[in-house]
Structure 1
Amino acid sequence: MQEPLRDLSRLSLNQMTTKPWSVREAVEGCVQAGIPYIGLWRDKVEATGLQESARIVQDAGLRVSSLCRGGWFCAGSERERQERLDDNRRAIEEAATLGTDTLVLVCGPAADRNLPAARAYVEESIATLLPYAQEYGVRLGIEPLHPMYAGDRSVIVTLGQANGFVRRLAHPNVGVVIDAYHVWWDPELEREIEAARGHILGFHVCDWLVPTPDMLNGRGMMGDGVIELRRLRQLVEAAVYRGPIEVEIFNEALWQMPGAQILSLMSERYLSCV
């Protein structure tokens, strides 16, 4: 009997899944594992050097699915707010240099307890950045985070909120990034994925472990948790997303494994569960 086709053509390694690896190590690992895409993180790129990182990826024949992260807009003073906008402009430039058209925005927590004001400022900041992003050919992907992160990571906690931003901004260079870990619980998810039709800029997968061992670094490998990942992929594809599928797993135990073993397991679970 003929073996089933091993189609990894849309698979992307998000660098956080192999956190101990440098850009070069992650790229070499992807080449050896037959993974065509990589999602880069700015701190890893900075450690290697922007131009060197771009060269390593290009020479290996990989494609960069996204750069993470921009955002983190709110701050307590006007000077800090301006510094964060300037940093986002640098992130846009970095994305263009690395050859990706998608900068993932983790929008950041409120600077005080005023959530409505924080959300309004996030929208204002994205509007400010959009002409610059368009100039560089980069799209800003608003990634809603799970509500448990509202206090320390993002005031944008539902796909509905992110879609609302995209509708009001009405600009071709803004869209949403759908991460299974952050949205799987949402009773409005099917409707909101359909509402995101045409402006889904990224799709990230992992799994939700029960019990969750750690709020930040407790994500699971696909198939080890409770998320119906294949159905989620079907919903995203029905909303005309055909781009890379990034595996992004924050997990302390996983990071203790050899990187090649992580990529082998990741590829097998991608094929069987996603």
Structure 2
Amino acid sequence: MDRAMDQARIDAAIQVYYARQFDESARLTSRSAQGALELIRVQEMIADRVGPRSRILDIGGASGVHAARLAEAGHEVTLIDPVEAQVVQARRHGTFTAQVGDARRLRFEGDSFDAALLFGPLYHLHSPEERRTCLEEAARVVVAGGLVFVAAIPRFIRHAMVTLAEDIPHPYPKEWVDLLEHGTPTGGRFPAGHFHTAEELESELLEAGLHDVELCAIEGVAGLALEQVRDDDPELLAAALTLARKTGHLPGIRDITNHLMAIGRVREAAGRLDPTRPNGAGVG
């Protein structure tokens, strides 16, 4: 299957997965302690770097969990997502703008926002070219000196999630090797396009014209364990936050996390793409 056809398949799967099969809002708020950890970490990383009353574009913002908290903090937030059901749910918050849109073709003028969030689009995009387009579009709509926050799923943690508690097969499956070597998804219901290493993610941001790239784990080394914790345990959450804050920036260690964060700054001459060009429709 060629790249274009493969991405079309992923785009179609995204619509089904997030509209009918998976509750993204519950993942961040009630499903497990991992969601609470992720939510706190993302919000604090944004708060530490973005000025008050900023214009923020939440690209792939799903049902608006992050957008709602940013709006409560006084920011002017616009959310886009390719799944209409997610956008309908996001609009119920009533504190920010939400619309259907595609991360690869943002329908906003250049320099419209002070910061952009990409929490999801990159791991739903199969090819480096698609991911670069997504990053360049985010940079285009953010003012010079503004920040683009990008989330990725590390290939090492994905390998652990696929293989832990399984017998080690002989020979080792080629799809598991491809996951580690190339970030190739192994199948399953989740509509994945690619899994990153921290170094690869940094390279993609730099190639898209961003600079001063900062890399850190979101949940950190305790995140996978907290996926199995359903009850509210403040002490456990506090311990996980301390680990993430203290060790999440360390090379190698930062890849042992459910989600990796890259933060890049927009240059004065960041790549500007033509917002009227034709493109696919499916990744937000």
TM-score over 0.5 for the alignment? no
Which one scores higher on RCO, CA 8 angstroms, separation ≥ 6? 2
TM-score (norm 1): 0.36
TM-score (norm 2): 0.35
Query: Which structure shows the higher helix fraction?
Result: 1
